[in-house]
Structure 1
Amino acid sequence: MLLQDMREKAQGWVAKVIVAAIAFTFAIFGLESLSPNTGNPDVATVNGEAITQQQLMETMDQQRRVLIQQMGDNFDPSMLDSPMLQNAALESLIQRALLRARLQDDQMVVSEAMLDEVIRTAQEFQVDGQYSPDRVMQYVRNMGMTVAQFRNMLREEMISTQLRAGIAASEFMTTAELQQLNNLQTQTRDISWLTLNNEQARNAVNVSDDDVAVYYADNGSRFMQPEQVSVDYIVLDKNKIAETIQVSDADIRARYNAQVADLKNKASNELRASMILLEPNGDRDEAATLAQANELSTQLKNGADFAALAQEFSDDPDSAAQGGSLGAVETGFFGSEFDSALAGLEAGAVSEPVQTDFGVVLIRRDGSAEARIPSLEQMRASIERELRNQAVDPLFVEQSQMMADISFEASDLAQPAETMGLEIQSSPLFGRNGGEGIAANARVVAAAFSEDVLELRANSDLVELSPEQVAVLHIREHKKSEQKPVADVKDEIVAAIQTERGAEQLKQRAEAVIAELNGGANAEQLATSNGLTWAAQEKSVRFNREVPAQLLAEAFRLPHPAAGQFSYGTATLPNGDIAVIRIANVVNGNDALDADQARMMGTSLALRQGTQMYDEYVRNLRDTADIKVVQADSEG
């Protein structure tokens, strides 16, 4: 039924693919400025199109914010390394310029109507199943964009998606190719192998003090104690401030009365309605539909029961089952004609037939919703909390600014702590990758290792620990990176030398075994003389859980041996053991693919190849473009 379709569509058809693409674009490509700025130097040109310093700076800032928002407490401050961000941001701007120029040459466009439709139906921009302009504005502001910039970015991504899909969808595979691939995938091989024990080889290596000294000197950077700091800090907590705020009984009663009045007002303005819907169909054209609606209207005027007629004649099964009842009706859901007719009715009155986009309706106004009013005692705790939270917000902002001002002027945390009535706390030592307690917060780590705090020993700016807490830090102890004493790392060095030499000796032993086998040595006698045993898997397929994955992969990479012969190779296993591999009797599969198998395999492989083709397309655009990097200094 059409009304059911309306209800389903009101929940929004999903535009997540586009929105996810936008999010990916934000993270990978950044945000480009749409307005040129005089005195703004170029950092690169792409086929004559300039990429400016401002664009690069905005893109880097965008990427910083996306990293922090997406990773939260797991954010690694080293990701904000400017050279790394600058290179990624500049490359993304170059790639966007290349694609934009190509799309313009191909005259690919997206209409304003399509753009509006994507925004309106994206679930990210809906509240309770309805499009919310406020949600869009919040999203756009959080990304540091204007509405025009957002629409332009979305338009570009939608067009790019068309291009990407068009190229990827053009790839296909023939039946013969699929059959050949299936024959290879179902190929079997007789596999056998000897396992050379890494632990035995490692333990057999003798390491002298001279060996340790040489290794220590040659690999000093591996044995560095990382730079560490500990900090003193003070924390301003909004919740603790809220606990000090006194809320009077009079204030609670006043807020309760206001909320009761608001509930009653909302209930009186919330219209409840019932309807009988008649839809044109194959047996009844629009004129006949209207005629039947007029007949039902006459029956209602003569005293017929609305609910009974709705159950018998309404084409909307959901409301018909409820005697036509729609419950509370949200303005705009059924269209302006429905809203206008309902608004003009008194409680209990029934409208004349109303023509709407989804059919002809008879509407009955069922009055206003009944307000459900909780008691004062039921609401007291929530109202008191609400009043405290309302009062604490300006206090928290005021005291945060005061703490920031005092800390900026002070040489340490003693004066800020005394003035604000806060306790100075201390952290254990932690490095640039963070630590425990307050050092698990990425913002704290970034502040602690900032130049002003670390080198100048200044108090930090306010650090937001959470929406309810801010902190100020001061360096308590700073341990610079230094090489660990050789005595402290001797065991580590001995283990490293044993691992390296043992692996090399094991590799040489494996090569020697293969050389003897290729020279005609008896495989069984060779294994016995080396204290080894052949393991075997006859007619093994490519996916065999009984054979180590690394060994299996190498076994299927080895060349086909001649009839009655063997091919040999080696594979290093996860524990360091080396397997000497022998294969024989390579047999291709010959089972014919059925239609469903061919379709599934063809779709998967064509998609993979199509994606590779698009990547090649983008690389070709770059290789054939005239790209000049004018300036690399993002801070200039």
Structure 2
Amino acid sequence: MLQNIRDNSQGIVAKIIVGLIVVTFALFGVESLVSLTSGSNAPATVNGVDISERDVLQGADLQRRQLLAQMGENADPTLLDDNLIRKATLDNLIQQEILVQSATNQDMAISDQVLDQMIVNTQDFKVDGVFNPDRYQAVLRNAGLTPMMYKNLLRKESLIGYERSGYMGSAFVLNSEADKIITLDRQTRDLAYLKVGLQDYMKDVSLTQDDLTVYYDAHQQDFMTDEQVAIQYLLINKADLLKEVKVDDAELQGQFEQLKAAFKSEEQRTVSHIMIEVSDSVDDAAALAKAQDLEKKLAAGEDFAELAKTESDDPGSASDGGNLGVYQKGMLDGPFEQAVYSLKAGEVSEPVRTAFGYHIIKLTDLSESKAPVFEEVKDQLIAEQLDNKVEQIYVERVGQLTDLAFSSGDLQEPAAELNLKIVEAAPFSRKGGNDDVTSNQRVVRAAFNEELIRDGFNSDPIELDSGRTLVLRVKEHIRPRQLSEEEVRPQITEILTLQKAGEALQASLEGELEKLQQGAERKPVNGAEWQVADAVGRADRKQPAEVMAAAFKLPKPEQGASYSLITLKDGAQAIVAVTALHEPDLSAVSADEKKAMRNILSQRSGQFDYQAVMEARKNAAEIERL
């Protein structure tokens, strides 16, 4: 069951939902689903609009699946807090409803025809490059959605996107603002830095026994062993059961007969098209005239695929010569489908009008699907038979292990009955062990179960993954103990040595920094030389990242240099100096570069505007929660 949940969450469903709501997700966190129905006892209302219990349950289920998918093979549903998931889902649904209402209040709308085209063009609903109704239904079914519910979700997310795009598209920045950003971005600096490590200062550190004792007494809680357990377990591995099953040729033939009986020969029509869109900029007459002109070019012998690449307004197929793949009935009802089924292989239709514009359709191939041949599907049938038989044995053995472990006082009887080996694992803490069994969080949680430790019971079956289940028993419980000062003396010595060396290093460099700020000449310190780099830009990767960050925070030097003292990740410290600052020549920046910068800044400004407006909408909304 858990594997099915994980598979559904890792596949197309999660990608579709995340893809549809990527911007809202970025603004508000993991988004959830909105259904068409509303419950009688709404958990919340937004400006009088109910968010139903069904909405919340459906959204929480999707979030739970996505979290389990992110947790990977060892996903454990018991780690998830259903109350927190429900609260997060309700919060996100409230914010989504606020966004939808904001868009609809500004008379934003989207037609059913546009939604249908978006669905047909969704890559995750396609098989071999063409929309597949069965795939579409399966994906929605796995997500717990009906086509109407999905369409409603798509409509809402599209409306949110329209309003966001309005803010993003209408924001602007002044040329002077763009010039300032370009100036800062392309500014370069002459810098120097002196990096001094701890090593030379560590050798001069002298520690007394009192120093060690004082530190130990003040930090005794840091010197405790971890609580540990040592366990024994019995493991049933589906892969080990494969040797117990054999292929039954008669059964194999029966499988093939069933496959043949279920086979239905279908006519497969491979279709290409050239679409001329009817839009605000191209009216019906102009689109028809262009389509008729293309029809004449095709009649004159011009290549259909080449014309599709240059003339078709369908971005999804134009680059592939207009290829739509194998056409499925019901994909585009009406005139388009009628034209597809009226053509013979190689024929081209007259311009066909649909809700999207005019189409010139070519039937590039016509074939019949072939009945299965035994030799071609034999390996597949063998794999299915073996998998089914192993699954039956696996389920049976897990049931037997469950019963035997419950009734036994140890693992000896279950091991003998099921011919399993008792495995002993090395002691491990609550952080887990070093192998895939003792590092599994379900195993760790069971091993530290107070009842199992106290009473010596066998655990319930623990599913490691879809093919492995175990039962464990705590062999030994090792309680944490206080380590003596003698045991931790090397550790304390290292801590204090680093601490005192760091203090000495900082005191030394602070004194050097004070001299430099008073105008002293830069000189080596403890054998460390100053490193110099001129005209360094912000994107420079040759200098240490910490040095670069400090250098571009320093003010423009008025006289001599500006200085800063920083600590590096490895414990070393450095004095950073900026000796000169160079502004770029804006006349050398092309008009295209300036335009690109204005566009980037405008988008960022629009995003901030949109977030501010949505925050205001949220503050003004009348939100009621049960």
Normalised to the residue count of structure 2, the TM-score between the two structures is: 0.72
- Aligned residue number for residue 576 of structure 2: 581
Q: Does 1:104 align with 2:106?
A: no
Deviation at 1:190, TM superposition (A): 3.0
Match of 1:72 in 2: 72
* DSSP-derived class of the 2:72 partner: helix
Contact 1:566 1:582 (8 Å CA) reproduced: yes
Alignment match, 2:90: 93
Q: Which residue of 1 aligns with 2:420?
A: 422
Quick one: distance in 2 between partners of 1:353 and 1:106? Answer: 41
Separation in structure 2 between the aligned mates of residue 451 and residue 55 of structure 1, nearest angstrom: 39
Report which of the two structures shows the higher radius of gyration computed on alpha carbons: 1
- Native 8 Å contact 1:227 1:481 kept in 2: yes
State the Cα distance separating 1:621 from its structure 2 match. Answer: 5.6
Report the alpha carbon displacement of residue 222 of structure 1 after superposing the two structures with TM.
3.5
The answer to whether the 8 A contact 2:271-2:340 is kept is no
Deviations 1:385-439 (A, max 9, x none): 3333334444444443444344445554444444444333233333344331323
C-alpha spacing 1:500/1:65, structure 2 compared with 1 (3 Å): farther
Distance 2:601 2:560 in 1: 34
1:223-262 residue pairs with structure 2 within 5 A? Answer: 223-256=223-256, 259=259
The answer on whether the counterparts of 1:192 and 1:582 sit within 8 Å (CA) in structure 2 is yes
Structure 1 residues 389 and 561: CA distance shift in structure 2, 3 A: closer
Give the superposition deviation at 1:573: 2.6
Task: Judge conservation of contact 1:27–1:63 (CA < 8 Å) in 2.
Answer: no
Q: Over residues 344-386 of structure 1, what are the superposed CA-to-partner deviations in whole Å (9 max), with x where a residue is unaligned?
A: 99xx9999999965779899997856657354xx765543333
Q: Give CA-to-partner distance per residue, 1:504-534, whole Å, 9 cap, x none.
A: 33222222222223344x315xx36865543
SS in 2 for 1:543: coil
Q: CA deviation at 1:554?
A: 1.4
SS of corresponding position for 2:547: helix
Shifted more, 457-466 versus 503-512: the winner is 457-466
Q: How many residues end up aligned between the 2 structures?
A: 576
> Per-residue deviation at 1:597?
0.9
Residue 498 of structure 1: SS of its match in structure 2? helix
Residue of structure 2 in register with 1:507 after alignment: 506
Q: What is the distance in 2 between the residues matched to 1:276 and 1:147?
A: 26
CA distance in 1, matches of 2:580, 2:363: 81
Q: Match of 1:516, SS? A: helix
Write out aligned runs for 1:527-606 (5 A).
Answer: 527=523, 532-562=528-558, 564-592=559-587, 593-606=589-602
C-alpha spacing 1:250/1:56, structure 2 compared with 1 (3 Å) = closer
Residues 405 and 154 of structure 1, relative CA distance in 2, 3 Å threshold: farther
Residue aligned with 1:191, SS: strand
Q: Does 1:384 align with 2:379?
A: no
Specify the alignment match of 2:207 in structure 1: 207
For the residues of structure 2 that align with 1:553 and 1:578, how far apart are their CA atoms? 14
**Pairing 1:321-340 to 2, within 5 Å after superposition:** 331=329
Question: Within 5 A, what are the aligned runs for 1:86-485?
Answer: 90=87, 93-107=90-104, 111=110, 113=112, 114-132=114-132, 135-136=135-136, 138-140=138-140, 142-143=142-143, 153-256=153-256, 259=259, 266=265, 269-270=266-267, 282=289, 316=304, 331=329, 368=368, 373=373, 375=375, 380-435=378-433, 436-449=435-448, 458-485=457-484
Matched residue type, 1:28? V
Root-mean-square deviation (Å): 5.2
Partners of 1:125 and 1:135 within 8 A in 2: yes
What letter matches 1:107 in structure 2?
Answer: T
Question: For residues 395 and 512 of structure 1, do their structure 2 counterparts lie closer, same or farther at Cα, with a shift above 3 Å needed?
Answer: same
Report the counterpart of residue 295 of structure 1 in structure 2.
Answer: none
CA deviation profile, 1:39-93 (whole Å, cap 9, x unmatched)? x9x7x99889999999888876654442221231476x799374xx856763563
Distance in 2 between the 1:119 and 1:327 partners?
A: 16
Residues in 1 aligned to 2:551 and 2:346: alpha-carbon distance in whole angstroms: 81
The change in CA–CA distance for 1:31 and 1:315 in structure 2 (over 3 A counts) is closer
CA–CA separation in structure 2 for the residues paired with 1:428 and 1:482 = 19
Per-residue deviation at 1:450?
Answer: 5.4
Q: Is the 8 A contact 2:230 2:476 kept in 1?
A: yes
Q: Shift in Å at residue 579 of structure 1?
A: 1.7
Kept in 2, the 8 Å contact 1:15–1:118? The answer is no
Q: Does 1:492 align with 2:491?
A: yes
- Aligned partners of 2:568, 2:220: CA distance in 1, in Å? 29
Offset from partner CA, 1:141-166 (integer Å, 9 cap, x none): 65566777655555544443334444
Q: Secondary structure at 2:476's aligned position in 1?
A: strand
Are the structure 2 counterparts of residues 462 and 153 from structure 1 closer, same or farther at C-alpha, using a change threshold of 3 Å?
Answer: farther
Contact 1:408 1:461 in 2 (8 A): yes
Aligned-partner residue type, residue 90 of structure 1: K
Q: Relative to 1, partners in 2 of residues 1:227 and 1:105: Cα closer, same or farther, differing over 3 Å?
A: same
Q: Which amino acid aligns with 2:387?
A: N
Distance 1:194 1:130, change over 3 A: closer
- What is the distance in 1 between the residues matched to 2:528 and 2:367? 90
Give the whole-Å Cα distance in 2 for the aligned partners of 1:513 and 1:281. 81
- Deviation of 1:187 after TM superposition, in Å, equals 2.6
Displacement, 1:102?
Answer: 5.0
The amino acid of 2:385's aligned partner reads L
CA contact (8 A) 1:198 1:503 kept: yes
Structure 2 equivalent of residue 634 of structure 1: none
- The separation in 1 between residues aligned to 2:479 and 2:25, in whole angstroms, is 39
Call closer, same or farther: CA 1:173–1:88 in 2, change over 3 Å.
Answer: farther
Contact 2:232/2:423 (8 A) holds in 1: yes
Q: Residues 241 and 392 of structure 1 are in contact (CA less than 8 Å); yes or no, is this contact kept in structure 2?
A: yes
Contact 1:432/1:449 (8 A) holds in 2? yes
Q: Quick one: which amino acid aligns to residue 211 of structure 1?
A: D
**Residues 202-228 of structure 1, C-alpha deviations (whole Å, 9 max, x = no match):** 332222232223323333444343333
- Say which is worse superposed, 248-257 or 19-28, in terms of deviation: 19-28
**In structure 1, distance between residues paired with 2:503 and 2:217:** 21
Give the aligned residue type for 1:547. Answer: Q
Aligned to 2:509, the other structure's residue is in SS state helix
1:151-200 CA-partner distances (Å, limit 9, x unpaired): 55555444433344444444332221121222223333332333333222
Name the SS of the counterpart of 1:536 in structure 2: strand
Displacement of 1:537: 2.6
Contact 2:56–2:89 (CA<8 Å) still a contact in 1?
no
Aligned partners of 2:268, 2:561: CA distance in 1, in Å? Answer: 85
2:619 and 2:127 map into 1 onto residues whose CA distance is 46
Give the deviation of 1:558 after TM superposition.
Answer: 1.5
Say if 1:270 and 1:328, in contact at 8 Å, map to a contact too.
no
TM-score normalised to structure 1 length: 0.71
